[in-house]
Amino acid sequence: MAKKTVRDLDVSGKRVIVRVDFNVPIQDGKITDDNRIRGALPTINYLLENNAKVILMSHLGKINHKDEEQTAKDKAKNNMAPVAERLQELVPDAKVTFVDVTRGKLLEDTISEMNDGEIVLVQNTRYESGESKNDPGLGKYWASLGDLFVADAFGSVHRAHASTVGIAEHLPSALGFLVEKEVKFIGDAIYAPNRPFVAILGGAKVSDKINVIENLLKIADKVIVGGGMAYTFYKAMGYEVGTSLLEEDRIEVAKNVIEKAGDKLILPVDTVVAKEFAADADHKVVKANEIPADMMGLDIGPESIALFRKELEGAKTVVWNGPMGVFEFDAFANGTLEVCKAITELPDALSVIGGGDSAAAAIQLGFKDMITHISTGGGASLEFMEGKELPGISIIEEKA
């Protein structure tokens, strides 16, 4: 996919609208994790160094537009002001102006008065009810505020919103460095892998990952499945799963996948079970087909870890999405920890973690610097792995 990147644009003296992903966690007015802001800095700094006027747009949280009282609460909770403060600390040599509106004279005047090398951060795009509907008038209006558009919010490129697609319909456009990097690493891993290529999929629900599993079974040499969705596969095999997470309406789907996959599909052979979903719950290891009726599976067991390690031996490309168990509880984090360790110990392998909980787990468990690429977009990386077109990328102009 030869899309234009920010390097292909003449940005000097231009008003460049950059769709960033500043959807960061905020507690009591303070940002608790600024990784997403830092992720946008390469593109922002490049534009500043090349004398652009940088207009940043992002969503933050969710806004309920159906109930006036709730809308007001959501807007107060998801105000971008703390983001502007943190951004100013991260780019101390550039002036950052926060505009507390998403349209109107104040925003227009602030942008028209900008100097080259300055930043304007616009209020939360979701303050506008038309944002998530890709309202054509809203996209056109926002586009009128700039000369060029840069897509650098990988976490949002799977959504056809006014700020991700609508603006790009009216302006010369390009990918920012963050999205370019995501497209390269995930694209290379999935569609041009060095082999053997092993995909590891975990997480809670088969329904969230079934299309990814089916797509990867066509591409990968092995697909390892763990996490909560393994129990739906067990049920499809006729096993007792006790009180484990189970999607009854996906049992037939799981059965079909097992039949089609043959020896490509690797499932856990043992599991850590407990009577309750709690950090301090008493637990034990049982075989996959011996889960007691009054217990639930919360992690993969030691035999599964050994099996997964064996299947990973010699892998040159590994894609991982979704934890192996309830990694938030120390007692049930071992499967995720050991899989993470096994991936990092592979010599010369390209390793890609597809955002979401698996990314959080890798970072929390201290493996961030040992993975080739950790994606910033859980939903977007999943849809990319499904083989879906991502509207926020497909709208961007191709290189000549």
Which residues are identified as catalytic? Answer: 36, 205, 356, 379
Which element (helix H / strand E) includes 261? Answer: helix 251-261
Phi-psi region of 373 (alpha: psi -120 to 50; beta: other; left: phi over 0): beta
The residue with tokens 């079909």 is 256
Q: Which are the contacts of 67, defined by CB distance < 8 A and separation ≥ 6?
A: none
Question: Would you say 117 and 158 are in contact if contact means Cβ atoms under 8 Å apart?
Answer: no
Phi (first) and psi of residue 101, to 5 degrees: -140, 165
Whole-number Å distance between alpha carbons of 210 and 85:
41
Whole-number Å distance between alpha carbons of 190 and 120:
37
Whole-number Å distance between alpha carbons of 47 and 44:
5
SS3 336: helix
The residue with tokens 């991502």 is 390
CA 15 to chain centre: 28
DSSP state letter for 147: S
